[in-house]
Amino acid sequence: MRHDPESDRESPDHPLSRVIDQLAPLLPAQGPISIFIHHNTLHDFEDLPFEVAVERAAGQLGREPFLSEARYRDKLASGRILAKDVDAVLRDDLGPAASTDVGGVSARLDLRRAIALHGIPFAAGHELSWLLEETPALSRFRSDLPANARSAFASLREGGDQSKADERRAVRRLWDACVRSVARSAPPPAAKNDLPVRHRDYIQALAGLDTDAWMHPSLIRFLASYLDQGLAHWTMPNRTLGIHGCCVEIYRSRLAAQCGTWARTLPRIVLDDRAADRDALTSIEHSLAILGIDADERTDFLRAELLALRGWAGIIRQIEERPDRVPARDLTVTLRGYLAVRLLFERAALAEAARQIGFAGLLSELRSTLRERFPRPVPPTVFERAWPLFHIAQLSGLDVSIVERWEAPQVAALEEELHDFDDIRRRRILHQAFERTIRHRLYDALACHTPRDQNDRPAFQAVFCLDEREESFRRHLEEVEPACETLSTAGFFSVAMYHQGSTDAHPRPLCPVAIRPTHYVAESELETNGFAQRTRHLGRRAFGFLGYNVHQGSRLPVRGAVLMAAFGWLSLVPLVFRVIFPWLSSRWRRVRETSTAADRTRLLVDRVEAPPPIGRHAGFTVREMADIVRRVLEDTGLGDRLSPLVFVVGHGSISLNNPHESAHDCGACGGGRGGPNARAFAQMANDSRVRRLLMSDGVAIDPATWFVGAQRNTCNNDVTIFDADLVPANCRPAFERAQAAIDEARRREAHERCRRFDAVPSWYPPVAALAHVEGRAADLAQPRPEYGHATNAFCIIGRRDRTRGLFLDRRAFLVSYDPTRDAGEILARVLSAVVPVVAGISLEYYFSYVDSTGYGCGTKLPHNVTSLLGVMDGAQSDLRTGLPWQMVEIHEPARLAIVVEASPERLSLALQRNPAIERLVRHRWIWIASLEPDSSTLSEWRPTGFARHPPERTLPVVIGQSSDWYQGKRGFLPPVAIVPPSSLSA
Amino acid sequence: MTSSVPLAWLVLIGVAAPACVFLVLGVTSLFNRQLPEWGTGGLAAAAMATSCVAFVVVLVARGFTQTAPRLLSYGQWSTTHEGGIAIEFLVDRLSLAFAALSAAIAGIVSAFSNRYLHREPGYNRYFVLLAMFVTGMFLVALAGNVEVLFIGWELVGLSSALLVGFFHDRPAPVGNAFRVLSIYRISDAAMLSAAVLLRHTAGSDSLSLLFGGAGIGSSVAVSGHAPTVIAILLVVAVAGKSALLPFSSWLPRAMEGPTPSSAVYYGSLSIHAGCFLLLRAGPLLEHSLAARILAGALGAATAMFAGITTRVQSDVKSSLAYAALTQVGLIVVEIALGWYTLAFIHLAGHACFRLLQFLSAPNVLHDLHGMEDAIGGRPSWTSGVIERLGSEHLRRVWFLVALERGFLDSVLDRVIVAPFTSAARQLTEMDRWLCEFVIHASGLDVVVGDEGRDE
């Protein structure tokens, strides 16, 4: 029996429990880093429209909602945002108010367009003084004025010294006029003063003491040690008592007062909890009472407390909800336990801070005393108010005489307008325009792309994961072997299972995170030579034990000393190879792996009655297998047009020195590698019992058809083919031809991928590019083994004909769906399986890019793996969630644009059947559009219904192959149609 | 002695190569004309390779055949009636081997960093500091007199602190960099005192006393307690630089920089600079039993303390930092016992091994996973004696002490930082009071006040 004070006295109805449950979704929902699952960073805000949600979250969490205005302006300059899109978005945003006159200056639309396109540099205080005194702001007009304004000042801006003097005078007069008119009118009402809720914020603002900085190091050490999954050799004692119970046991020693000056009273506070026999919730209540938090403030206060160390709080919540996802399962982890401990530490730190600022009263009165001394916001000065108006006057090309006539109402109207169209709002508009530009380019391409005629039965088919990294691979494969057809579906191929490879220590779930698998499938060695098998096993174990002993011994004094003195210098060999010659070390790795891996293995997919180590059943029944096969064949529309050879290709990614390795794996496999799923699927589809059952269901598979499972490593472009020895003789020629095509596609795809790596010269041939990506995957010094999902922007659900030959620059998730073989059922099913995965990926990349150090985890370089659960920055910090900058740096943060090949009516129906997806669409977390199956009509979803998108540009055509279009180019490339020369002559 | 000319040149080239890179990168940065990444990385790699080749050639050509140390002099830097400061390198097996090791490790790290820091805004700054560090390491390794040694010592310390604060947009790295720097200052102060005292006692012939340069006149008569005092000061300097007790708390704080800089400083080279200095100063230590006992005691205590602490650390970099410190403590013990050869072999092996471990620290998940797969499950961690010792309560207390890293930080805060800052604060107060008094007394306050109002 486990003594467990945090759960056995648990009371779900306790009001504090409810408050905590209500606040918990605000925390980052990232689980252990070795199983990385992409999800919407702001999942808790999904019931708000996207723009409102990101802005509100920005305020509540202290993060950025969009990129900075300067970044958007760079994109305007480089043509990634078009002015016409800004105009269109503004018109949409303003509606009928667009033509309203503002302060007699111009129509609201014109004013906002000028501000959005050209900007008003924000300046206040000393910065403004500097701008006014040290820069030409008051002697020259802005150089980036819109055309109409420029013409107004044109006479002044040209010519020699005389006109320069004139210009200086004119600018000065304009500024003086602005200042005078502002001085004439009353200042706008002062903004509401948001008072902080935590004691720490008051003390920091008033006395410069940061109690968080005092207590966080100790708190983090405690939490990291408590949650540790096997990094430390000595695990924390009393971990079964729960976070609060364990803390009470450890910190009650008088020595705990030595944790720092702040901890003077910590042992006393802890002992008091122990004496009163408080559990976590009563301890929180007690602490709240001591800190003087009233009942109506509790939610706000606890929210602020939770967010102060949100990464750690988040992982605690994740483990509390899914204890099956961490290896150390004997410890009790609860968010309330953490809060109780946090408040104990906080009380000690606040007591010390109160002492240092000479406050003698009770802690509960500390805030009310400090609140009176809290600084009030200073109203803006006349110069600060005149500065934006001065810019408006320039942007609108106003004459001084007009500005001089401004009275209070005009100034008030303009200030009101500026307040309304503030920095956030301007960024919102620019962001929407940015997305519109990207999205419309895709719409135009899809509408203009003419479907190719379906020729005869393809030589072979290959079913991939819908991942956008497969877009390029599929394109190259089809270019190499025009007689093949590629398809795609969610990369777990409907096989939800716990899988344990023959060399795996633990089974691992391979399916979307929403599903908890019930089936267990093991891989077993198929060996005739028992001796060789045993030797290999022994070799592997010996290697493992050696590694383990070196790992542990290096941390021990005496064993370490012997190890270092005798063999330390040997590590120069791996150092030189792995750092200076990574490609060679990738070869060596391969040699080692093939020598210790079994020659032949098989998956045990058949149902066995023995109880599995995890899940409910070992293996699948024939019925279950038939359902899985049928589902994939129906979803992809393969049904009755199977070719004699069908490849099923999952994907994964293996890289070194990359704590975020799992984030590059297959999202549909829950951050695992999808090869086993592909292999299991092929094995099921080849099973004659399954085929017989399917035949009776009306799905006929030609007996001559053979399925082959495979896995592609998206990092080093290896393609592993499973069970190749089983391919029947009649399929051999096609199989060998297909293998050759895949080999060539591997090289070409690596080549295309390399164009985004700065380190690869643009003249590299495909062979060298393949060697480069192989080296990259084995390189200890490489923080960007691959770019993962970066640049993803689109998702296209439909037949391959609609996208075949279209260069989509690895930006589109492609999902096979055949509207001509569907009565509506399948679309709803496909949407519900696909959209949550792709939306999660797209939104995670959005937030990690937009605020890399806030929503993302910043640069990888100082990352420090802690507790085997996540990474910290440097020596110690909050647990960092989200994606590192090196993974997202080439991304364009845009919401995903999904195009579905289905009529608007059918799409609407399918959406109605998926309320969760409908909500995402309604609140514009994703864009969705319908592409008519038989025509090029494309209509985008709007709250008022589908609106037709008239093509804005034609689709350029490139004759040859993909490399003819991308070779030598580094940045984003718009879609083009790649037409092989052969089809042109035909 | 015809071979001495190419020898002198080779050693000079070896030291000058990173120094030149430092100057080129530093000056171009000063004028905001930073080289492109390939230029910076290429220069650094070329310099490290040059140094490495130069030192290895000298080591092979000379070090293995001739055992007598040689002093290479490159002229006076300054002259005074007492002898001035000369640029001198002492070349023997020990110095050449350490220089060659440093060059090889620096070369690997510079190749690593070139890719690891690709596209990082501080790329150029990083390589400036790395070149500065490597120059400093070479000077420490080859120093032929105490002045050169001190310059090298300072370059290593300064670049170390600046790299800890590499990510200066976050407060934690900057705060920790200050912490590291201030402890280095204590160490530097001890070093400087030792240098001055040495100079005072032994005049320009200082190196024979310090480094035991046999054949250059080891017969300097040193009287009284001077050698003991100097040796103890050196031990204090080493304790600061190599994070021995009671200064150990800065080591985990130094893990703020990019992974390769943590690796080369605190896993590999900088942490061993102190040990190397002790090795060099072996002859001096032999003069002073007290200093040897002090060094041995500090080393042993550090090894024990770090050995326990590392077991509890739950983040990979702190765990490695304390593991490295355990070995450093043992190396110091070996030196105190006079086992110089073993100490050097231990040092070199440890530097290489720990470098690999630090550089692949982000790989720890991958590695542990692979190990588990090979063994077929999680090996049960063998518990050490300490985990089983005493009552349950005692174990909890031990755990807390290890978790809080011996409370060294708060002890330092209380014993040194708090009195120091409060004294500084009082001095500031006094200064202000004095200024006000002077201004008031001389009637300046009227003028100042008027200007103030004008604004």
Strands A508-510 and A497-500: antiparallel
A149: left (phi over 0), alpha (psi -120 to 50) or beta: alpha
A358: left (phi over 0), alpha (psi -120 to 50) or beta: left
pLDDT in tens, B126-140: 999 999 999 999 999
pLDDT of residue B418: 85
Residue A7's pLDDT band, with cuts at 50, 70 and 90, is very low
SS3 of residue A947 by DSSP: strand
- Residue B437 pLDDT exceeds 60: yes
Residue A156's Cβ-count burial label (10 Å; 0-12, 13-18, 19+) is middle
Judged by CB atoms within 8 Å, which residues 27-46 of B form the interface with A? none
Binary contact (A234, B346; C-beta < 8 A): no
Residue B81's pLDDT band, with cuts at 50, 70 and 90, is low
Q: Say how far apart CA A542 and CA A592 lie, in whole Å.
A: 14
pLDDT of residue A8: 40
B355 compared with A10, residue with greater pLDDT: B355
pLDDT of residue B381: 56
Contact predicate A958/A978, CB 8 Å? yes
User: Nearest CA to CA, how far is B309 from chain A (Å)?
Assistant: 10
pLDDT of residue B223: 57
pLDDT in tens, A91-148: 999 988 888 888 888 899 999 999 999 989 888 889 999 999 998 888 888 888 887 7
Contact predicate A104/A78, CB 8 Å? no
Q: Is B178 on the interface with A (CB under 8 A)?
A: no
Extract the tokens encoding A777: 């995957």
Binary contact (B119, A233; C-beta < 8 A): no
Nearest residue in B to A581, CA atom = B111
pLDDT of residue A5: 46
Q: Say how far apart CA A257 and CA A239 lie, in whole Å.
A: 21
pLDDT in tens, B203-226: 655 555 555 544 444 444 455 677
Q: Which of B365, B362, B352 is nearest to B109 (CA)?
A: B352
Taking residues A705-720, report their average pLDDT. Answer: 94
Which residues, 6 or more positions from B397, have their beta carbon under 8 angstroms from its beta carbon? A253, A255
pLDDT in tens, B276-300: 999 988 888 887 888 899 999 999 9
Q: Is B371 on the interface with A (CB under 8 A)?
A: yes
pLDDT of residue A914: 93
What backbone torsions phi and psi does residue B70 show, to the nearest 5 degrees?
-125, 145
pLDDT in tens, B86-97: 788 888 888 889
Binary contact (B366, A561; C-beta < 8 A): no
Binary contact (A555, B403; C-beta < 8 A): no
Number of H helices, E strands in chain A: 38, 23
Which residues, 6 or more positions from B348, have their beta carbon under 8 angstroms from its beta carbon? A568, A569, B97, B98, B101
SS3 of residue A939 by DSSP: strand
Angle, vertex CA A185, rays to CA A184 and CA A188, nearest 5: 150
Q: Say how far apart CA A905 and CA A918 lie, in whole Å.
A: 14
Contacts 24+ apart (CB under 8 A), A526-529: A526/A598, A526/A599, A526/A600, A526/A601, A526/A602, A527/A598, A527/A599, A527/A600
A974 compared with B210, residue with greater pLDDT: A974
pLDDT of residue A166: 84
Mutate one of A35, A209, A234 to test the B interface: name it (highest B CB count within 10 A): A234
Taking residues A386-405, report their average pLDDT. Answer: 89
What pTM value is reported for the model?
0.93
pLDDT of residue B444: 66
Taking residues A397-403, report their average pLDDT. Answer: 86
Binary contact (A230, B378; C-beta < 8 A): yes
Residue B185's Cβ-count burial label (10 Å; 0-12, 13-18, 19+) is middle
User: Nearest CA to CA, how far is B240 from chain A (Å)?
Assistant: 19
pLDDT in tens, A575-597: 998 888 888 888 888 887 777 77
What backbone torsions phi and psi does residue A141 show, to the nearest 5 degrees?
-70, 160
pLDDT of residue A161: 67
What backbone torsions phi and psi does residue B66 show, to the nearest 5 degrees?
-110, 125
The residue type of B12 is L
Nearest residue in B to A548, CA atom = B371
- ipTM (interface predicted TM): 0.91
Residues of A in contact with B418 (CB under 8 A): 261
Q: Say how far apart CA A484 and CA A640 lie, in whole Å.
A: 16
Q: Say how far apart CA A498 and CA A611 lie, in whole Å.
A: 13
User: Nearest CA to CA, how far is B3 from chain A (Å)?
Assistant: 30
- Residue A173 pLDDT exceeds 70: yes
Extract the tokens encoding A119: 């900007």
Residues of A in contact with B372 (CB under 8 A): 505-506, 544
pLDDT of residue B222: 56
Taking residues A632-646, report their average pLDDT. Answer: 89
Rg of chain A's alpha carbons, rounded to an integer?
32
Taking residues A86-92, report their average pLDDT. Answer: 93
Q: Say how far apart CA A682 and CA A831 lie, in whole Å.
A: 24
Comparing A171-180, A232-241, A405-414, A450-459, which segment has the lowest mean pLDDT? A450-459
The single-letter DSSP state of residue A668 is G
Q: Is B317 on the interface with A (CB under 8 A)?
A: yes
Sequential DSSP letters for B315-359:
BHHHHHHHHHHHHHHHHHHHHHTT-HHHHHHHHHHHHHHHHHHHH
Q: Whats the size of chain A, residue-wise?
A: 986
User: Nearest CA to CA, how far is B20 from chain A (Å)?
Assistant: 23
- Residue A170 pLDDT exceeds 60: yes
Q: CB-CB: which of A260, A659, A862 is closest to B410?
A: A260
pLDDT of residue A86: 94
pLDDT of residue A918: 94
- Residue B417 pLDDT exceeds 90: no
Contact predicate A61/A26, CB 8 Å? yes
Q: CB-CB: which of A222, A659, A876 is closest to B362?
A: A659
Q: State the Cα torsion B131-B137-B139-B144 to the nearest 10°.
A: -170
Q: Say how far apart CA B191 and CA B149 lie, in whole Å.
A: 10
Alpha carbon distances (Å) from A675 to A669, A721, A777, A833, B372: 10, 9, 18, 19, 21
Start-to-end CA span in chain A (Å):
78
Binary contact (A560, B323; C-beta < 8 A): yes
Taking residues A534-541, report their average pLDDT. Answer: 85
Q: CB-CB: which of B317, B356, B397 is closest to A255?
A: B397
Residue A155's pLDDT band, with cuts at 50, 70 and 90, is low
Contact predicate A229/A867, CB 8 Å? yes
Give the A:B interface size as CB pairs under 8 Å.
Answer: 296
Taking residues A606-616, report their average pLDDT. Answer: 89
Mutate one of B117, B259, B314, B347 to test the A interface: name it (highest A CB count within 10 A): B314
Q: Is B117 on the interface with A (CB under 8 A)?
A: yes
Binary contact (B257, A657; C-beta < 8 A): no
pLDDT of residue B82: 62
Extract the tokens encoding A358: 């000479």
pLDDT in tens, A900-956: 999 999 999 999 999 999 999 999 999 999 999 988 899 999 989 999 999 988 999
User: Nearest CA to CA, how far is B140 from chain A (Å)?
Assistant: 22
pLDDT of residue B453: 40
The residue type of A832 is S
Q: CB-CB: which of B176, B359, B364 is closest to A865?
A: B364
Say how many C-beta atoms besides its own lie within 10 A of residue B263's C-beta.
27
Alpha carbon distances (Å) from B452 to A129, B22, B335, B437, B447: 17, 45, 63, 19, 9
